[in-house]
Amino acid sequence: MKRFFYPQSVAVVGVSENPDNLGRNIVNNLVEFGFQGDIFPVGPKGGRILHLDIARRLEDLPSTPDLVVVLAPARVVPSILDACGQMGVQRVVVESGGFSELGPEGQRLEDEVRQRLRQYGIRMMGPNGLGAINLEIGLCLPFMNLPHKPRLGGLSLLCQSGGVGTNVIAWLAQAGLGMNKFVSLGNKLDVNENDLLEFLLDDPGTSLIYLYMEDLADGRRLMELGRRARKPILLHKANIGELSADIARSHTASLAVDDEVVTAACCQAGILRVHSRNEFLQAAIALQQPPLKGDRLVVLSRSGGEAVVTADACHKAGFKLPPLSPEIVQLIESRSRAGVIKPINPLDLGDIFDFSLYADVAAAFCQDPDVDGIILNYGPINDLEREAARAMAKSLIASARRHEKPLLITVIGSLEERDYFRHELGVPVFAFPGEAIRALALARNYYTCQLPAAPVVPPEISSLPAVQSLLAPHLDSPGPVPMSVALEAMATLGIPVPGRRLVASAEEAEEAALALGLPVCLKLVAPSALHKSDMGGVLLNLASGEAVRQGFEAMAQVARTHLPAGEPWQVLVMSFIEKGMEVIIGAKRDRVFGPMILFGAGGIWVEVLEDVAMRLAPLDLAAALALINQTKIARILRGFRGQGPSDLRALAHCLVLLSAFMLEFPQVQEVDLNPVRVFPEGQGCLALDARIIVGAAAS
Amino acid sequence: MKRFFYPQSVAVVGVSENPDNLGRNIVNNLVEFGFQGDIFPVGPKGGRILHLDIARRLEDLPSTPDLVVVLAPARVVPSILDACGQMGVQRVVVESGGFSELGPEGQRLEDEVRQRLRQYGIRMMGPNGLGAINLEIGLCLPFMNLPHKPRLGGLSLLCQSGGVGTNVIAWLAQAGLGMNKFVSLGNKLDVNENDLLEFLLDDPGTSLIYLYMEDLADGRRLMELGRRARKPILLHKANIGELSADIARSHTASLAVDDEVVTAACCQAGILRVHSRNEFLQAAIALQQPPLKGDRLVVLSRSGGEAVVTADACHKAGFKLPPLSPEIVQLIESRSRAGVIKPINPLDLGDIFDFSLYADVAAAFCQDPDVDGIILNYGPINDLEREAARAMAKSLIASARRHEKPLLITVIGSLEERDYFRHELGVPVFAFPGEAIRALALARNYYTCQLPAAPVVPPEISSLPAVQSLLAPHLDSPGPVPMSVALEAMATLGIPVPGRRLVASAEEAEEAALALGLPVCLKLVAPSALHKSDMGGVLLNLASGEAVRQGFEAMAQVARTHLPAGEPWQVLVMSFIEKGMEVIIGAKRDRVFGPMILFGAGGIWVEVLEDVAMRLAPLDLAAALALINQTKIARILRGFRGQGPSDLRALAHCLVLLSAFMLEFPQVQEVDLNPVRVFPEGQGCLALDARIIVGAAAS
CB contact under 8 A, A642 and B534: yes
Q: Output B533 or B694, whichever has higher pLDDT.
A: B694
Closest to B351 measured CA to CA, from A78, A70, A74, A98: A98
A362 and A407: one domain? yes
Is pLDDT at B698 greater than 50 in this prediction? no
Q: What is the mean pLDDT of residues B120-141?
A: 96
Decide the pairing of beta strands B581-590 and B594-601: antiparallel
Cβ separation of A604 and B435 shorter than 8 Å?
Answer: no
- One-character DSSP codes across A320-351: B-PPPPHHHHHHHHHHS-TTTS---SSEE-TT
pLDDT higher than threshold 70 for residue A453: no
Of B163, B246, B605, the CB nearest to A344: B246
Structure confidence at residue B699 (pLDDT): 42
Whether the Cβ atoms of residue A499 and residue A575 lie closer than 8 Å to each other: yes
pLDDT of the residue at B687: 97
A475, part of any domain: no
Angle at A450 between CA A447 and CA A451, to 5 degrees: 125
Are B523 and B593 found together in one domain? no
Q: Find the angle CA(A319)-CA(A321)-CA(A326) to the nearest 5 degrees.
A: 150
Distance of CA A183 to the CA centre of its chain: 19
* Cα separations in angstroms, B407 against A561, B397, B503: 54, 7, 72
CATH code assigned at A686: 3.30.470.20
Contact A415 B170 (CB under 8 A): yes
- Output the domain CATH number for residue A351: 3.40.50.261
DSSP letter (8 states) at residue B249: H
Task: State whether A431 and B171 contact (CB < 8 Å).
Answer: yes
Query: A487-491, B50-54, B536-540: which has the minimum mean pLDDT?
Result: B536-540
B591 in Cβ contact with B255 (< 8 Å): yes
Per the omega criterion (within 30 degrees of 0), is the bond before A519 cis? yes
C-alpha–C-alpha distance, residues A21 and A43, integer Å: 11
pLDDT band at A673 (very low <50, low <70, confident <90, very high): very high
Residues B309 and B417 grouped into a single domain:
yes
In a domain, B155, yes or no: no
Measured CA to CA, the distance from residue A314 to residue A323 in angstroms comes to 14
CATH number (domain holding residue B129): 3.40.50.720
Determine contact, residues B489/B692, Cβ cutoff 8 Å: yes
Among A100, A236, A309, A637, the residue to mutate for chain B (most B Cβ within 10 A): A309
Nearest residue to B126 (alpha-carbon basis) of B3, B2, B4: B4
Q: Give the pLDDT confidence of A380-405 residue by residue, as tens digits.
A: 766 777 888 888 889 999 999 999 99
Q: Is residue B453 part of a domain?
A: no
Contact between chains at B306 and A148 (C-beta distance less than 8 A): no
Q: Is the pLDDT of residue B338 over 70?
A: no
Among residues B345, B361, B348, B362, the alpha carbon closest in space to that of B304 is found at: B348
Best probe of the A interface among B312, B321, B533, B584, by most A CBs < 10 A, is B312
**pLDDT tens figures, A61-70:** 999 999 999 9
Q: Do residues A612 and A606 touch, judged by C-beta distance below 8 A?
A: yes
Q: How many cross-chain Cβ pairs, A to B, lie less than 8 Å apart?
A: 273
Residues of A in contact with B239 (CB under 8 A): 308, 312
- What's the confidence (pLDDT) of residue B159? 96
What is the tens place of the pLDDT at every residue in A492-535? Answer: 999 999 999 999 999 999 999 999 999 999 999 888 776 666 67
Q: Which residues of B touch A383 (CB under 8 A)?
A: 145
> A405-409, A414-418, A571-575, B517-521: which range is least confident on average?
A414-418
Contact residues, chain B, for A307 at CB < 8 Å? 244, 247, 251
Kindly indicate the confidence band of residue A235, based on its pLDDT and cuts at 50, 70 and 90: very high
Q: Which domain holds residue B116?
A: 2-146
Shared domain for B434 and B395, answered yes or no, is: yes
Kindly report the average pLDDT of chain A as a whole number.
91
Q: Are residues A604 and A524 in the same domain?
A: no
- pLDDT for A412 beyond 50: yes
Instruction: Provide the phi-psi class of B284: left if phi over 0, else alpha when psi is between -120 and 50, else beta.
Output: alpha
CA atoms of A499 and A460, how far apart (whole Å): 26
Beta strands in B255-307 (DSSP E): 272-273, 297-301
Does the structure show a pLDDT above 70 at B351? no
- pLDDT of residue B5 exceeding 60: yes
Helix (H) or strand (E) holding B588: strand B581-590
**pLDDT tens per residue across span A590-618:** 989 999 999 998 877 777 777 889 999 99
Contact B247 A344 (CB under 8 A): yes
Nearest residue, CB atoms, A384 vs list B19, B304, B307: B19
How many domains is chain A built from?
A: 5
The Cα A233–Cα B285 span in angstroms is 33
Q: Is B414 in the same domain as B508?
A: no
Q: Give alpha helix (H) positions in B403-475.
A: 415-419, 433-448, 464-471
Instruction: Let me know: does A627 contact A615? Beta carbons within 8 Å.
Output: yes
B559 and B661 assigned to the same domain: no
Instruction: Show Cβ contacts of residue B316 under 8 Å, excluding neighbours closer than 6 positions.
Output: A240, A241, B437
In angstroms, rounded to a whole number, what is the distance separating the alpha carbons of residues A352 and A332? Answer: 11
> Residues B266-288: what's their mean pLDDT?
94
Whether residue B406 is found in the same domain as residue B329: yes
pLDDT at A598: 94
Q: Is B576 left (phi over 0), alpha (psi -120 to 50) or beta?
A: beta
Backbone angles phi, psi at A357, to 5 degrees: -65, -45
Q: Which pLDDT value is given to residue B48?
A: 95
CB contact under 8 A, B308 and A161: yes
Residues A611 and A548 in one domain: no
Residue contact A169–B242, C-beta within 8 A: no
pLDDT tens for A208-232 read: 999 999 999 999 999 999 999 999 9
Q: Specify the 3-state DSSP secondary structure of A616.
A: strand
Segment A408-427 shows an average pLDDT of 89
d(CA A10, CA A92): 10
Angle at A81 between CA A80 and CA A84, to 5 degrees: 90
Q: Which of A394, A441, A390 is nearest to A287 (CA)?
A: A441
A443 vs B440: CA distance, rounded Å:
29
Q: If DSSP codes are grouped into helix, strand and coil, which group holds residue B231?
A: coil
pLDDT at B103: 82
Beta strand ranges found along B136-216 (DSSP E): 139-140, 152-159, 179-184, 208-213
Calculate the CA A173 to chain-centre distance. 25
pLDDT score recorded for residue A631: 92
Region class of A403: left (phi > 0), else alpha (psi between -120 and 50), else beta: alpha
In this structure, the dihedral spanned by the alpha carbons of residues A692, A695, A697 and A699, taken in order and rounded to 10 degrees, is: -120
- Distant-in-sequence, close-in-space partners of A255: CB < 8 Å, separation ≥ 6: A215, A245, A248, A249, A591
Nearest to B132 by CA among B143, B122, B121: B143
Q: Which chain B residues have a beta carbon less than 8 Å from that of A605?
A: 636
Tell if the CB–CB gap between A382 and B25 is shorter than 8 Å.
Answer: yes
Distance CA A521, CA A573 (A): 6
User: What chain B residue is nearest to A163 in terms of C-alpha separation?
Assistant: B303
**Residue that terminates a domain, selected from A74, A97, A128:** A128
Residues A443, A294: one domain?
yes
CATH at residue B541: 3.30.1490.20
Residues of B in contact with A643 (CB under 8 A): 604
pLDDT confidence bin for A336, thresholds 50/70/90: confident
Within a domain: A349: yes
Q: From chain A, pick out residues whose CB is under 8 angstroms from the CB of B321.
A: 243
Last residue of a domain, one of A576, A592, A619: A576
Confidence of residue B405 (pLDDT cuts 50, 70, 90): very high
**pLDDT at residue B642 in the model:** 66
Residue B368 lies in a domain: yes
**The pLDDT value given to residue A533:** 62
Q: Is residue A308 part of a domain?
A: yes
Q: What percent of chain A has pLDDT over 90?
A: 72
What pLDDT does A699 receive? Answer: 42
Q: Is the pLDDT of residue B657 over 50?
A: yes
A275 is a domain residue: no
- Which of residues B432 and B102 earns the better pLDDT score? B432
Q: Is the pLDDT of residue B212 over 50?
A: yes
**Burial class for A297, CB neighbours closer than 10 Å (0-12, 13-18, 19+):** buried
- Please give the Cα distance from A81 to A116 (Å, whole number): 7
- Rounded CA separation A678/B640 (Å): 22
Q: How far is B479 from chain A (nearest CA, A)?
A: 23
Read off the pLDDT of residues A23-53 as tens digits, 9 standing for 90 and up: 999 999 999 999 999 999 999 999 999 999 9
A469 within a domain of the structure (yes/no): no
Instruction: Determine how many CB atoms are found less than 10 A away from the CB of residue B303.
Output: 28
Pick the last residue of a domain from B146, B174, B198. Answer: B146
Spatial contact of B55 and B61, defined as CB atoms under 8 Å apart: yes
The whole-number pLDDT of residue B256 equals 65
Q: What are phi and psi of B259, to 5 degrees?
A: -65, -35
Q: How far apart are CA B149 and CA A15, in angstroms?
A: 47
**Judgement on whether residues B402 and B378 belong to the same structural domain of the protein:** yes
**Nearest alpha carbon to residue B39 among B20, B19, B15:** B15
Q: Are residues B564 and B585 in the same domain?
A: no
Say which range, A340-354, B40-54, B181-195, has the weakest mean pLDDT. A340-354
- Provide the pLDDT for residue A698: 45
Q: What's the burial of A129, exposed, middle or buried (CB within 10 Å: 0-12/13-18/19+)?
A: buried
Q: Which of A148, A153, A80 is nearest to A117 (CA)?
A: A80
H-helix or E-strand spanning residue A108: helix A104-120
**What tens digit of pLDDT does each residue of B575-609 get?**
999 888 899 999 999 989 999 999 998 877 777 77
